[in-house]
Amino acid sequence: MELLDGEDLADLLEREGRIAAAQAVQLLLPIAHALATAHAQNIVHRDVKPENIFLVHDEVAVIPKLLDFGIARMVDNPRKLTVEGSALGTPDYMSPEQARGEPPTEQADLWSFCVVLYEALTGTCPFDGENYNALMRSIIEDTPPTIATHGVDEPQLQAILERGLEKKKEERWPTMRELGEELALWLEERGIAEDIMGTSIYRTWLRDPEVNTRTDLSAMAPLPRSDAGARMAFDSGPQSTRRSRRTGAESVPVIVGQPSTPEVALANAPALAASEPELKAIAEIHEGGDPVEVLEREQRKRNWMVVVALTLIVVAGTFVLLVGTGIIIL
Protein backbone atom coordinates (compact mmCIF):
# COMPACT_ATOMS: atom_id res chain seq x y z
CA MET A 1 0.00 0.00 0.00
CA GLU A 2 1.22 3.47 -0.81
CA LEU A 3 2.45 5.58 2.11
CA LEU A 4 1.55 9.26 1.64
CA ASP A 5 3.50 11.94 3.47
CA GLY A 6 1.66 15.23 3.88
CA GLU A 7 -1.76 16.40 5.04
CA ASP A 8 -5.29 16.48 3.72
CA LEU A 9 -7.00 19.61 2.45
CA ALA A 10 -9.21 19.76 5.55
CA ASP A 11 -6.11 20.14 7.75
CA LEU A 12 -4.75 22.86 5.49
CA LEU A 13 -8.02 24.80 5.54
CA GLU A 14 -8.28 24.42 9.31
CA ARG A 15 -4.80 25.91 9.67
CA GLU A 16 -4.92 28.59 6.96
CA GLY A 17 -8.64 29.40 6.90
CA ARG A 18 -8.79 29.87 3.15
CA ILE A 19 -6.57 29.80 0.06
CA ALA A 20 -5.96 32.58 -2.47
CA ALA A 21 -8.16 32.16 -5.54
CA ALA A 22 -5.45 31.33 -8.10
CA GLN A 23 -3.69 28.93 -5.74
CA ALA A 24 -6.96 27.20 -4.86
CA VAL A 25 -7.69 26.56 -8.55
CA GLN A 26 -4.11 25.39 -9.15
CA LEU A 27 -4.45 23.00 -6.21
CA LEU A 28 -7.79 21.51 -7.26
CA LEU A 29 -7.19 21.18 -11.01
CA PRO A 30 -5.37 17.82 -10.54
CA ILE A 31 -8.39 16.61 -8.54
CA ALA A 32 -10.64 17.66 -11.41
CA HIS A 33 -8.38 15.63 -13.70
CA ALA A 34 -8.62 12.63 -11.36
CA LEU A 35 -12.43 12.85 -11.34
CA ALA A 36 -12.56 13.26 -15.12
CA THR A 37 -10.39 10.13 -15.42
CA ALA A 38 -12.68 8.17 -13.08
CA HIS A 39 -15.78 9.38 -14.91
CA ALA A 40 -14.28 8.25 -18.22
CA GLN A 41 -14.31 4.75 -16.71
CA ASN A 42 -17.94 5.23 -15.56
CA ILE A 43 -16.85 5.45 -11.91
CA VAL A 44 -18.55 7.97 -9.61
CA HIS A 45 -16.68 8.80 -6.40
CA ARG A 46 -19.74 10.02 -4.41
CA ASP A 47 -17.76 11.44 -1.47
CA VAL A 48 -15.55 14.27 -2.73
CA LYS A 49 -14.57 16.41 0.28
CA PRO A 50 -11.43 18.06 1.72
CA GLU A 51 -10.71 15.05 3.96
CA ASN A 52 -10.43 12.87 0.83
CA ILE A 53 -8.02 15.21 -0.95
CA PHE A 54 -4.54 14.39 0.30
CA LEU A 55 -1.68 16.79 -0.37
CA VAL A 56 1.49 14.77 -0.77
CA HIS A 57 4.70 16.70 -0.05
CA ASP A 58 7.69 15.70 -2.13
CA GLU A 59 11.00 17.45 -2.68
CA VAL A 60 9.86 19.84 -5.40
CA ALA A 61 6.08 20.13 -5.39
CA VAL A 62 2.75 19.37 -3.78
CA ILE A 63 0.87 16.45 -5.35
CA PRO A 64 -2.89 16.35 -4.66
CA LYS A 65 -4.40 12.87 -4.66
CA LEU A 66 -8.04 11.85 -4.51
CA LEU A 67 -8.54 9.06 -1.96
CA ASP A 68 -11.28 6.92 -0.44
CA PHE A 69 -13.22 5.38 -3.28
CA GLY A 70 -14.92 3.27 -0.60
CA ILE A 71 -18.48 4.17 -1.66
CA ALA A 72 -17.69 4.70 -5.34
CA ARG A 73 -19.88 2.85 -7.82
CA MET A 74 -19.92 1.97 -11.46
CA VAL A 75 -22.60 3.88 -13.33
CA ASP A 76 -25.17 1.53 -14.88
CA ASN A 77 -23.56 -1.42 -13.12
CA PRO A 78 -26.23 -4.15 -12.94
CA ARG A 79 -24.66 -5.51 -9.74
CA LYS A 80 -25.65 -2.83 -7.24
CA LEU A 81 -24.08 -3.18 -3.82
CA THR A 82 -25.97 -0.29 -2.17
CA VAL A 83 -29.64 0.13 -1.45
CA GLU A 84 -31.33 2.22 -4.12
CA GLY A 85 -32.66 5.46 -2.70
CA SER A 86 -30.15 5.68 0.15
CA ALA A 87 -28.21 8.92 0.64
CA LEU A 88 -24.47 8.24 0.63
CA GLY A 89 -21.73 10.82 1.13
CA THR A 90 -20.76 13.54 3.58
CA PRO A 91 -23.79 15.84 4.13
CA ASP A 92 -22.07 19.22 3.53
CA TYR A 93 -20.84 18.10 0.10
CA MET A 94 -23.91 16.18 -1.09
CA SER A 95 -25.60 17.24 -4.30
CA PRO A 96 -29.37 17.84 -4.29
CA GLU A 97 -29.94 14.52 -6.07
CA GLN A 98 -27.83 12.69 -3.48
CA ALA A 99 -29.80 14.38 -0.72
CA ARG A 100 -32.99 13.06 -2.33
CA GLY A 101 -31.52 9.56 -2.58
CA GLU A 102 -31.46 9.51 -6.37
CA PRO A 103 -29.01 7.31 -8.29
CA PRO A 104 -25.64 9.10 -8.49
CA THR A 105 -24.04 10.30 -11.70
CA GLU A 106 -20.83 12.18 -12.39
CA GLN A 107 -22.84 15.37 -11.85
CA ALA A 108 -22.88 14.57 -8.12
CA ASP A 109 -19.06 14.58 -8.08
CA LEU A 110 -19.04 17.81 -10.09
CA TRP A 111 -21.31 19.46 -7.50
CA SER A 112 -19.16 18.23 -4.59
CA PHE A 113 -16.00 19.46 -6.32
CA CYS A 114 -17.53 22.94 -6.64
CA VAL A 115 -18.48 22.89 -2.95
CA VAL A 116 -14.85 22.03 -2.08
CA LEU A 117 -13.59 24.84 -4.34
CA TYR A 118 -16.06 27.27 -2.74
CA GLU A 119 -14.83 26.23 0.72
CA ALA A 120 -11.18 26.58 -0.31
CA LEU A 121 -11.88 30.12 -1.56
CA THR A 122 -14.03 31.32 1.34
CA GLY A 123 -13.18 29.12 4.30
CA THR A 124 -16.80 28.01 4.67
CA CYS A 125 -19.22 25.65 2.95
CA PRO A 126 -21.91 27.24 0.73
CA PHE A 127 -24.80 25.52 2.55
CA ASP A 128 -25.55 25.33 6.24
CA GLY A 129 -28.24 24.11 8.63
CA GLU A 130 -28.81 23.62 12.33
CA ASN A 131 -29.23 19.88 11.82
CA TYR A 132 -29.09 17.24 9.11
CA ASN A 133 -32.61 17.87 7.82
CA ALA A 134 -32.09 21.63 7.73
CA LEU A 135 -28.85 21.14 5.84
CA MET A 136 -30.52 18.86 3.28
CA ARG A 137 -33.29 21.43 2.78
CA SER A 138 -30.69 24.18 2.27
CA ILE A 139 -28.83 22.10 -0.32
CA ILE A 140 -32.04 21.33 -2.21
CA GLU A 141 -33.63 24.80 -2.04
CA ASP A 142 -31.26 27.64 -1.05
CA THR A 143 -29.01 29.78 -3.23
CA PRO A 144 -25.57 30.03 -1.61
CA PRO A 145 -23.95 33.41 -0.85
CA THR A 146 -21.58 34.60 -3.55
CA ILE A 147 -17.86 34.32 -2.93
CA ALA A 148 -17.78 38.13 -3.08
CA THR A 149 -19.67 38.25 0.23
CA HIS A 150 -16.63 36.49 1.71
CA GLY A 151 -14.21 39.00 0.19
CA VAL A 152 -13.30 37.08 -2.96
CA ASP A 153 -13.75 39.51 -5.85
CA GLU A 154 -13.61 37.12 -8.81
CA PRO A 155 -16.78 37.46 -10.94
CA GLN A 156 -15.67 34.90 -13.56
CA LEU A 157 -14.87 32.34 -10.88
CA GLN A 158 -18.25 33.06 -9.27
CA ALA A 159 -19.97 32.37 -12.59
CA ILE A 160 -18.11 29.05 -12.92
CA LEU A 161 -19.17 28.05 -9.41
CA GLU A 162 -22.78 29.13 -9.94
CA ARG A 163 -23.13 26.84 -12.92
CA GLY A 164 -21.47 23.99 -11.02
CA LEU A 165 -23.93 24.46 -8.14
CA GLU A 166 -27.12 24.55 -10.18
CA LYS A 167 -29.88 22.58 -8.44
CA LYS A 168 -30.81 20.74 -11.64
CA LYS A 169 -27.93 18.56 -12.76
CA GLU A 170 -28.84 19.13 -16.41
CA GLU A 171 -27.99 22.83 -15.95
CA ARG A 172 -24.51 22.25 -14.55
CA TRP A 173 -21.33 21.83 -16.56
CA PRO A 174 -21.91 18.83 -18.85
CA THR A 175 -18.76 17.01 -17.69
CA MET A 176 -15.94 17.32 -15.20
CA ARG A 177 -13.62 17.76 -18.15
CA GLU A 178 -15.45 20.87 -19.31
CA LEU A 179 -15.43 22.34 -15.82
CA GLY A 180 -11.68 21.71 -15.59
CA GLU A 181 -11.14 23.37 -18.96
CA GLU A 182 -13.02 26.45 -17.81
CA LEU A 183 -10.93 26.67 -14.64
CA ALA A 184 -7.76 26.21 -16.70
CA LEU A 185 -8.82 29.06 -18.98
CA TRP A 186 -9.44 31.20 -15.92
CA LEU A 187 -5.86 30.55 -14.78
CA GLU A 188 -4.42 31.07 -18.26
CA GLU A 189 -6.07 34.50 -18.52
CA ARG A 190 -4.17 35.45 -15.36
CA GLY A 191 -0.81 34.42 -16.78
CA ILE A 192 -0.59 31.16 -14.83
CA ALA A 193 0.66 28.30 -16.97
CA GLU A 194 0.83 25.39 -14.50
CA ASP A 195 -1.17 23.65 -11.81
CA ILE A 196 0.21 23.12 -8.30
CA MET A 197 2.32 20.14 -9.44
CA GLY A 198 4.03 22.17 -12.15
CA THR A 199 2.08 20.40 -14.90
CA SER A 200 1.27 22.55 -17.92
CA ILE A 201 -2.43 23.43 -17.93
CA TYR A 202 -2.17 23.96 -21.66
CA ARG A 203 -0.97 20.40 -22.25
CA THR A 204 -3.48 18.91 -19.82
CA TRP A 205 -6.61 20.98 -20.47
CA LEU A 206 -6.27 23.39 -23.40
CA ARG A 207 -4.43 21.45 -26.06
CA ASP A 208 -7.55 20.93 -28.17
CA PRO A 209 -7.92 24.13 -30.25
CA GLU A 210 -11.70 23.79 -30.10
CA VAL A 211 -11.57 24.09 -26.32
CA ASN A 212 -9.93 27.49 -26.14
CA THR A 213 -12.29 29.91 -27.85
CA ARG A 214 -11.03 32.95 -25.97
CA THR A 215 -7.31 33.03 -26.77
CA ASP A 216 -5.19 31.70 -29.60
CA LEU A 217 -2.67 29.84 -27.48
CA SER A 218 -0.79 28.55 -30.51
CA ALA A 219 0.33 32.11 -31.25
CA MET A 220 1.56 32.71 -27.72
CA ALA A 221 5.08 32.23 -26.48
CA PRO A 222 5.39 29.66 -23.70
CA LEU A 223 4.52 31.24 -20.38
CA PRO A 224 7.29 31.25 -17.77
CA ARG A 225 6.94 28.83 -14.92
CA SER A 226 5.21 30.42 -11.96
CA ASP A 227 6.67 29.17 -8.71
CA ALA A 228 4.68 31.57 -6.55
CA GLY A 229 2.06 28.98 -5.77
CA ALA A 230 4.17 25.88 -6.14
CA ARG A 231 4.68 25.39 -2.44
CA MET A 232 1.89 27.73 -1.27
CA ALA A 233 1.35 27.83 2.45
CA PHE A 234 1.95 24.10 2.81
CA ASP A 235 5.45 24.39 4.21
CA SER A 236 4.72 27.50 6.25
CA GLY A 237 2.76 25.61 8.89
CA PRO A 238 4.31 23.80 11.83
CA GLN A 239 5.82 20.44 11.06
CA SER A 240 3.52 18.85 13.62
CA THR A 241 0.60 19.40 11.24
CA ARG A 242 2.19 17.14 8.65
CA ARG A 243 1.36 13.48 8.91
CA SER A 244 1.55 10.26 6.98
CA ARG A 245 -1.45 8.34 5.78
CA ARG A 246 -1.50 4.84 4.38
CA THR A 247 -4.18 4.07 1.84
CA GLY A 248 -6.25 1.01 2.71
CA ALA A 249 -8.10 -1.52 0.60
CA GLU A 250 -11.06 0.83 0.25
CA SER A 251 -8.90 3.96 -0.16
CA VAL A 252 -7.94 3.62 -3.79
CA PRO A 253 -6.10 6.72 -4.99
CA VAL A 254 -6.50 8.03 -8.51
CA ILE A 255 -2.94 9.08 -9.16
CA VAL A 256 -3.07 12.29 -11.13
CA GLY A 257 -0.37 13.32 -13.52
CA GLN A 258 1.10 9.82 -13.86
CA PRO A 259 1.28 8.85 -17.56
CA SER A 260 0.24 5.31 -18.41
CA THR A 261 2.16 4.99 -21.69
CA PRO A 262 5.46 6.28 -23.12
CA GLU A 263 3.53 8.34 -25.67
CA VAL A 264 1.46 10.02 -22.96
CA ALA A 265 4.59 10.53 -20.87
CA LEU A 266 6.33 12.35 -23.71
CA ALA A 267 3.21 14.35 -24.54
CA ASN A 268 2.83 15.53 -20.92
CA ALA A 269 6.50 16.06 -20.23
CA PRO A 270 7.76 19.60 -19.53
CA ALA A 271 8.75 21.56 -22.61
CA LEU A 272 12.49 20.83 -22.41
CA ALA A 273 14.85 20.78 -25.36
CA ALA A 274 15.30 17.01 -25.53
CA SER A 275 17.78 15.76 -28.12
CA GLU A 276 17.08 13.02 -30.63
CA PRO A 277 19.39 10.50 -28.87
CA GLU A 278 17.65 11.21 -25.57
CA LEU A 279 14.23 10.59 -27.10
CA LYS A 280 15.52 7.40 -28.71
CA ALA A 281 16.92 6.23 -25.37
CA ILE A 282 13.55 6.87 -23.68
CA ALA A 283 11.80 4.89 -26.42
CA GLU A 284 14.25 1.99 -26.03
CA ILE A 285 13.63 1.89 -22.27
CA HIS A 286 9.92 1.43 -22.89
CA GLU A 287 10.22 -1.05 -25.77
CA GLY A 288 9.68 -4.04 -23.51
CA GLY A 289 6.82 -2.39 -21.67
CA ASP A 290 6.74 -0.60 -18.35
CA PRO A 291 10.33 -0.53 -16.94
CA VAL A 292 9.16 -1.57 -13.48
CA GLU A 293 7.27 -4.56 -14.90
CA VAL A 294 10.30 -5.51 -17.02
CA LEU A 295 12.54 -5.48 -13.94
CA GLU A 296 10.02 -7.55 -11.99
CA ARG A 297 9.85 -10.12 -14.80
CA GLU A 298 13.65 -10.34 -14.93
CA GLN A 299 13.80 -10.78 -11.16
CA ARG A 300 11.25 -13.60 -11.28
CA LYS A 301 13.23 -15.27 -14.06
CA ARG A 302 16.42 -15.08 -12.00
CA ASN A 303 14.63 -16.51 -8.97
CA TRP A 304 13.39 -19.49 -11.00
CA MET A 305 16.90 -20.08 -12.38
CA VAL A 306 18.30 -20.11 -8.84
CA VAL A 307 15.60 -22.58 -7.73
CA VAL A 308 16.30 -24.87 -10.70
CA ALA A 309 20.06 -24.71 -10.12
CA LEU A 310 19.71 -25.54 -6.42
CA THR A 311 17.37 -28.43 -7.26
CA LEU A 312 19.89 -29.87 -9.73
CA ILE A 313 22.70 -29.53 -7.19
CA VAL A 314 20.67 -31.36 -4.52
CA VAL A 315 19.69 -34.14 -6.94
CA ALA A 316 23.26 -34.56 -8.18
CA GLY A 317 24.66 -34.58 -4.64
CA THR A 318 22.11 -37.14 -3.50
CA PHE A 319 22.92 -39.33 -6.51
CA VAL A 320 26.67 -39.19 -5.82
CA LEU A 321 26.06 -40.01 -2.15
CA LEU A 322 23.90 -43.03 -3.01
CA VAL A 323 26.50 -44.28 -5.47
CA GLY A 324 29.29 -43.82 -2.91
CA THR A 325 27.45 -45.81 -0.25
CA GLY A 326 26.68 -48.64 -2.65
CA ILE A 327 22.96 -48.16 -2.55
CA ILE A 328 23.03 -47.51 -6.27
CA ILE A 329 25.40 -49.67 -8.34
CA LEU A 330 26.30 -48.39 -11.74
Tell me the pLDDT tens digit for each residue of 304-328: 999 999 999 999 888 888 888 878 7
| Mean pLDDT (whole number) for 49-78 | 80
Q: At what angle do helices 176-188 and 155-164 cross, to 10 degrees?
A: 180
First to last CA, the chain: 56
Q: Name the pLDDT band for 70 (thresholds 50, 70, 90).
A: low
The larger pLDDT score, comparing residue 215 to residue 157, is at 157
The rounded distance, in Å, linking the Cα atoms of 108 and 106 is 5
User: Burial of 294 by CB count in 10 Å (0-12 exposed, 13-18 middle, 19+ buried)?
Assistant: middle
Q: How far apart are CA 105 and CA 126, in angstroms?
A: 21
| Order of all β-strands in the sheet with 243-246 | 62-66, 53-57, 3-8, 243-246
Higher pLDDT among residues 271 and 57, named by residue: 57
The per-residue DSSP string of 286-303 comes to TTTS-HHHHHHHHHHHHH
Cβ neighbours, 10 Å, residue 55: 22
Cα–Cα distance, 194 to 268 (Å, whole number): 12
Q: Given this model, what pLDDT does residue 52 score? A: 94
- pLDDT the model gives residue 139: 94
Q: Is residue 63's pLDDT more than 60? A: yes
Q: Lowest mean pLDDT: which of 56-70, 91-105, 129-143, 283-297?
A: 283-297
Chain segment 169-199, per-residue pLDDT in tens: 999 999 999 999 999 999 999 999 999 999 9
- Cα–Cα dist 68/38, whole Å: 13
**270-293 mean pLDDT:** 57
Residue 252 above 70 pLDDT? Answer: no
Dist. CA 64–CA 27, nearest whole Å: 7
195 counts as catalytic: no
Does residue 43 sit in helix, strand or coil?
strand
User: Within its chain, how far is the Cα of 177 from the centroid?
Assistant: 13
C-alpha distances (whole Å) from 37 to each of 33, 43, 233, 259, 307 are 6, 9, 28, 12, 42
- pLDDT higher at 49 or 238: 49
Tell me which of 8, 47, 68, 195 is the catalytic residue. 47
Distance CA(24)–CA(225), nearest Å, equals 17
